[in-house]
Amino acid sequence: MSARILVVDDLEANRRLLEAKLGADYYEVLTAQRGEEGVQLAKREKPDLILMDVMMPGGIDGYEACRRLKAMPETRHIPVIILTTLDDRDNKLRGLQAGAEEFLTKPIDDVQLMARVKSLLSLKVVIDELRAREANGKRLGVIDEDLRNDPLEQHRLVAGNVLVVDDNLTQIKSIKAALGVEHRVTVMGQDEAEGPPDLCVVSMTARSFDGFRVIARMRSGEATRHLPILAVVEPDDKQRANRALELGAHDIIGRPIDEEELVARARTLMRRKRYMDALRHRLDQSLELAITDQLTGLYNRRFLMGQLTPLAQRAQCGGEAVSIMVVDIDHFKRLNDTYGHDVGDAVLRDFAVRLGTNTRPSDFACRMGGEEFVVIMPRTTGDIGCLAAERLRRSVCGSPFVAPGLGHPIEVTVSIGVAASEESDESVDALLKRADEALYEAKNAGRNRVIGKTSPRAA
């Protein structure tokens, strides 16, 4: 996988070295000499990964640059690896707390660097895919711009469920002490889970199970595929650390576990999971918005046309008949004028429920707009379609509607036109037009009735 990596370091020798190492693996490398310059370049060029030096003369240091990158919506999804010669605990924590995904000490171990780069980039591919789909949704008008910042901010909340897979009691105790402050921690095989986990901590040094197998199984399981995994390894066991990353662990922590480091790594992993969950959720939601009528929860016109076209084509090609009914609530304007729009909306919602209970699971009930509804009935001939329409009509006029805030029930009736596309070669528009004509006839004949029109050839 090729990617663009931004290297921010004040020393030319360091930049050259990293450029050579990364270039040898076919990564494209951008460079900056100062923290501020790095932030601006990242904002403009949107690299896939950033390697950030800490000590840079003049202006901001690497920690501050990282904090700024993680605070901007345009760059917060780009993973950052902090590189430094300061190999002490405080500096490592500062880096992680600034939001960096990883902290590596110079001189850089090539294998370790490449393992982390690959692991972070593979995650970035998923994020990019989600972001691209969201951008598409916005362009198509399916994702509402107004909603934009709101749900994505949820990733800032970090409390969640942590699942620990370990058999070392001392280590479990230390993990619980560290993460129990912010999160709900459960140990596999010991505690009852309180919900799906947001993070899994897996020991790679357990005696009673194979940690690699646990990671592999979680990566391939449907429910746990996106779950962030933090692998616990011996600090000098680079081979196992790299193997864990290759199998799909998102992060590594050395033993004995430093509780503050664990807290910082858990936060970063969970924040990223929340961010990705929020993106996925928005996509699901936008897909639903795209086909659903917001007031009634029925399908909308866009969905109707998408479904009806192939069904009608199949019927034309000698396939099974499809019938449609066009339903209009009688005197709806008068009802709105008399009682107000809130009552009108309540009637539309109540009608939608009756529509839902009087159609089959295989039918598609849609709101076309205003007080007009269409039901697509696949594999249904015109006479059966008329019976279904008659049943719906009776369910509407049979019991009055109740609107909240209104002291008395309201009598509502509907007029329905039915058309069936049997073996005719008419278009979807012509079929809808025929059902509309039938509806018009029903209105003219005094409302509260069903008129059916079967296709010319089948009649």
Catalytic (active-site) positions: 371
Cβ-proximal residue to Mg ion, closest one: 55
Number of residues near Mg ion (by CB under 5 A):
3
Report if residue 295 touches Mg ion, rule: CB under 5 A.
no
Question: 52: which strand partners?
Answer: 8, 82
Of residues 9-68, those binding Mg ion (CB under 5 A): 10, 53, 55
Query: What's the CA dihedral at 335, 336, 341, 342 to 10 degrees?
Result: -10
Residue closer to Mg ion (CB basis): 49 or 83: 83
Interface segment toward Mg ion; rule CB under 5 A; list 5-13, 75-83, 319-327, 441-449: 5-13
Burial of 296 (0-12, 13-18, 19+ CB in 10 A): buried
Tell me how far, at minimum, the Cβ of 85 lies from Mg ion, in Å.
Answer: 8
Tell me how far, at minimum, the Cβ of 270 lies from Mg ion, in Å.
Answer: 31
Tell me how far, at minimum, the Cβ of 11 lies from Mg ion, in Å.
Answer: 6
Of residues 166-225, those binding Mg ion (CB under 5 A): none
Residue closer to Mg ion (CB basis): 113 or 233: 113
Residue closer to Mg ion (CB basis): 83 or 435: 83
For 153-192, list the strands marked E by DSSP. Answer: 161-165, 184-187
> Using an 8 Å Cβ cutoff, are 323 and 377 in contact?
yes
Tell me how far, at minimum, the Cβ of 20 lies from Mg ion, in Å.
Answer: 18
Amino acid letter, 154: Q
CA dist., res. 380 & res. 363, Å (int): 10
CB burial string 416-454: b at 16+ within 10 A, e below = bbbbbbbebebebeebbebbbebbeebbeeeebbbbbbb
Tell me how far, at minimum, the Cβ of 5 lies from Mg ion, in Å.
Answer: 17
114: three-class secondary structure by DSSP: helix
Neighbours of 336 (CB within 10 A): 18
Residue closer to Mg ion (CB basis): 55 or 295: 55
| Residues 6+ positions from 200 with CB-CB distance below 8 Å | 162, 163, 164, 165, 218, 224, 227, 228, 229, 230
197: three-class secondary structure by DSSP: coil
Residue closer to Mg ion (CB basis): 12 or 129: 12
CA dist., res. 268 & res. 133, Å (int): 24
Residue closer to Mg ion (CB basis): 10 or 36: 10
| Ramachandran assignment for 353, one of left (phi > 0), alpha (psi -120 to 50 degrees), beta (any other) | alpha
Tell me how far, at minimum, the Cβ of 65 lies from Mg ion, in Å.
Answer: 12
Chain residues in the site for Mg ion (CB under 5 A): 10, 53, 55
